[in-house]
Amino acid sequence: MQTTSSNTNSNTNTLCKLFAINFPIIQAGMVWAAGGKLAAACSNAGILGLIGAGSMSPALLREHILKAKSLTSGNFGVNIPLLYQGAKEQIQVALSCGVKIFFTSAGSPKNYTPYLKDKGATVVHVTSTPELAIKCQEAGVDAVVAEGFEAGGHNGRDEITTMVLIPQVVQAVKIPVIAAGGVVNGAGIAAAFALGAQAVQMGTAFVATMESSAHPNFKNLLLQSKADSTMLALKKLVPVRLFKNCFYQQVKELEERGASAEELQQLLGKGRAKLGMFEGDMVHGELEIGQGCALLKDTPAIAELVARLKQEYQDAVAALPSF
Amino acid sequence: MQTTSSNTNSNTNTLCKLFAINFPIIQAGMVWAAGGKLAAACSNAGILGLIGAGSMSPALLREHILKAKSLTSGNFGVNIPLLYQGAKEQIQVALSCGVKIFFTSAGSPKNYTPYLKDKGATVVHVTSTPELAIKCQEAGVDAVVAEGFEAGGHNGRDEITTMVLIPQVVQAVKIPVIAAGGVVNGAGIAAAFALGAQAVQMGTAFVATMESSAHPNFKNLLLQSKADSTMLALKKLVPVRLFKNCFYQQVKELEERGASAEELQQLLGKGRAKLGMFEGDMVHGELEIGQGCALLKDTPAIAELVARLKQEYQDAVAALPSF
């Protein structure tokens, strides 16, 4: 087997160049887990860290950006879910702090891409379908994250898995594709690259790190998780992959008897994600996490995790048979 | 990048040796599509063909086995879903015809594995969880098929995707793991191997071949499918991945208002799968197919498909970057 690494190693990988990183991994901007400390640690380890603005007020986002800046001289970005009211203000805050990399999600790529590109920013939008990937390209984004059904948190309605989504998005667009959903170790990175991705975005594995701001109770719970520990739920609101705790069981009961969106919204209430992931209530909290949590074995420091991922990737590639 | 192909090429791949094949692909034994003609063509192309007994009476199964024997001198096997009443008689028929390779599914691996091993057969059981994979190993099977959420037809209740299922099953058992679900081209094969599988089982891609006995209407419909063309349905009966035709929409309506298993069974009735996949009624038939159908582009002959898969696999592996 011959390798054709001439145009694919870290020096020439399009996304390594775009983000000025050494290894094409993006740490997802997860709510309640991805603050300035985590993003900076990732940037210092040669991958791209993202601050998850989805759980932050504009003022708190500013604090986290300034914290990250104090901890790294490397590149980091912000993830802005466009479905929240504060998105516009968050974007202003990030721009005013000098952030140059924006991952946007949960909204139309048309809304802010031209504006952000005009400000000189790099823009990546998250998609769960090939059709939206094409719209992202038309809106002028630099790359797309194609996120499969196995991913944690908010998810697409069509339940398209990473295995079948990535090749379709790669075929649909000319811009680079970042694979997300179910990628938690180096073997998963190799699989994503085999499917045509040029980088991966990983969330779940980074929730369970020392630098993540997720509550220790949540990190410990993840280490005990099994293959069937998560399920896509709340499909009548916005589909979201949840850890199957007591709160999830309440959701499930309602859903099985055909409850309306209003009933589900009433059960969900406000602040449940913070209660679980940040404050550590594993019973009543909403615990957003990917299906790959079953593969987690420890809560390493970022530098250790990144070195391990690189080694696992190399091992997985080297073990591929030729026929 | 160095390759360690010494123990992984086709001469030494455990499953190539076990099945006496050249390339570690198993053509799944799909209902209404996988008859003797398809299995023989696959065996002649150097992969393992399976006759899908799930849609056959014992007498018809005998016919298909004899037909396959008349068309190939190579190895082929049968897939026997254990949930049907005729399973025991099907096994007797296959043994009496000299079949030596049994893929069993949809039941306990304990039921027939010791008996079949005692008869000198090779036994593989299909699982959708790591826990059942361990039970398969304890029951004495030679290998397991680990089948993810994206697969067509009957599916597990835990919705574990191929991307996260395969590494877990590989870690859980010592026997070889065959990856299934969402693998429709050579890139998918490379991804499955990166995740630790030693072979793949593919169904959807083989439905859309010249030698498949699926109705031409179904094959043509698959070529028009999109990323969102399938969905897991009938979860209150046995979860099954269906093409979203008119029948599926009726199922969906019932499910959304919380219909009981009895109501769903009444709608399903009898013979709907045959009506759709074999008789070509794309409106009222039950159309079982994997999510990967969106990646199908033509209906090649088996020899052409297998050569293409091999080339695509090599291309995908060669393109993997080193860092």
Q: At what angle do helices B302-318 and B186-194 cross, to 10 degrees?
A: 50
Query: What CATH number was assigned to the domain covering residues B21-213+297-314?
Result: 3.20.20.70
* pLDDT score, position A236: 92
Q: Contact at 8 Å (CB) between B146 and B166? A: yes
Mean per-residue pLDDT pooled into runs of 10, chain A (323 residues): 42 92 97 98 98 97 98 97 93 98 96 97 98 98 98 96 98 98 98 98 98 98 98 96 98 91 95 97 98 98 98 98 91
- For B293, the closest chain A residue by CA position comes to A164
Q: How close, in Å, is residue B113 to chain A by CA atoms? A: 25
For residue B177, count CB atoms less than 10 angstroms from its CB and return exposed for 0-12, middle for 13-18, buried for 19 or more.
buried
Token pair recorded at residue A203: 């969330």
* pLDDT score, position B98: 97
Q: How close, in Å, is residue B166 to chain A by CA atoms? A: 10
A298 touches chain B (CB under 8 A): no
- Segment B172-179 shows an average pLDDT of 98
Q: Which of B24, B182, B310 sits opposite A161 (nearest CB)?
A: B182
Query: What CATH number was assigned to the domain covering residues A10-213+297-311?
Result: 3.20.20.70
User: Is B11's pLDDT higher than 90?
Assistant: no
Contact A187 B195 (CB under 8 A): yes
- Chain A residue numbers with beta carbons less than 8 Å from the beta carbon of B159 are 149, 231-232, 291
* pLDDT score, position B257: 85
pLDDT digits 0-9 by tens, B116-131: 999 999 999 999 999 9
How far apart CA B206 and CA B219 sit, in angstroms, is 10
The alpha carbon torsion through B176, B180, B186, B190 (nearest 10 deg) reads -50
How far apart CA A257 and CA B236 sit, in angstroms, is 12
Q: Contact at 8 Å (CB) between A186 and A316? A: yes
A22 touches chain B (CB under 8 A): yes
* pLDDT score, position B84: 85
Q: What percentage of chain B exceeds 90 in pLDDT?
A: 94
Q: Which of A160, A191, A310 sits opposite B291 (nearest CB)?
A: A160
The mean pLDDT of chain B is 95
The ipTM, to two decimals, is 0.95
- For B256, the closest chain A residue by CA position comes to A258
How far apart CA B200 and CA B180 sit, in angstroms, is 6
Q: How close, in Å, is residue A188 to chain B by CA atoms? A: 6
Give the burial string for A154-190 (b: 16+ CB within 10 Å, else e): bbbebbbbbbbbbbbbbebbebbbbbbbbbbbbbbbb
pLDDT digits 0-9 by tens, A223-281: 999 999 999 999 999 999 999 999 999 999 999 888 999 999 999 999 999 999 999 99
* pLDDT score, position B10: 57
* pLDDT score, position A9: 53
Q: How close, in Å, is residue B274 to chain A by CA atoms? A: 26
- For B261, the closest chain A residue by CA position comes to A256
Enumerate residues 6+ apart whose C-beta is below 8 A from B91: B80, B102, B112, B115, B116
Contact B149 A161 (CB under 8 A): yes
Q: Contact at 8 Å (CB) between A196 and A166? A: yes
- For B311, the closest chain A residue by CA position comes to A323
* pLDDT score, position A258: 85
- Chain B residue numbers with beta carbons less than 8 Å from the beta carbon of A130 are 226-227
Q: Domain residue spans in chain B?
A: 21-213+297-314, 216-292
* pLDDT score, position B8: 46
pLDDT digits 0-9 by tens, B226-258: 999 999 999 999 999 999 999 999 999 999 888
* pLDDT score, position A257: 85
pLDDT digits 0-9 by tens, B139-152: 999 999 999 999 99
